[in-house]
Structure 1
Amino acid sequence: MAQHAVTQFRAGIRVACEVFSISQSCYYYQPKQADENEVIADWLIRLTTTQRNWGFDLCFLYLRNMKGFKWDHKRV
């Protein structure tokens, strides 16, 4: 909402954040692991299209043990 106000109505970032009751750090926030999420999703899609009978556990173990990724089960 604040981004929309800044781009469409040319409001200042400080004013837009005050109107929508968010901090300026929330306005500028960028997730740190967004690129890694795409890598995980791509691997899971490729595995499930080639190995239709594999469940989550087999996919996770394959990525961890065979491909060497160090993600834990909560990350995947």
Structure 2
Amino acid sequence: MQRFGASQRQTCALLQLSRTVYRYESVARDQSALEMRIKEITEVRVHYGAPRVYVMLRREGWRDNHKRVERVYRELGLSLRHKRPRRNKSARRRQPKQSVSAINEIWSMDFSMVHPQTASADWWR
């Protein structure tokens, strides 16, 4: 701006930019106390993730929101390992289907269409 001899107001008007946006400076809050408290909680409670740590902090009176707690938790490298899904073991214990060699040797029942009898005749709807 100064090199071309234009004022801040003229330059912002030319770029269609608000002067408040141009002058804005973010103010970073000190998070060292929050980081220390999160470390203390996770040292005692090893299996606590960010949501549970957030709840504990709220109960202690901290007013930081869950997004900040999750970000600090992640920056500290405290993310828990992802559990691998377990395979259903019930399929291994099943017995193979029996082969039928005669009529009425094996019986089965289907409960999908059993309805309770009521006083009215509307039970089939």
Given the two structures, how large is their TM-score scaled by the length of structure 2?
0.35
**Which of structures 1 and 2 has the bigger CA Rg?**
2
- The answer to which structure, 1 or 2, has the higher relative contact order (CA under 8 A, 6+ apart) is 1
More helix by share: 1
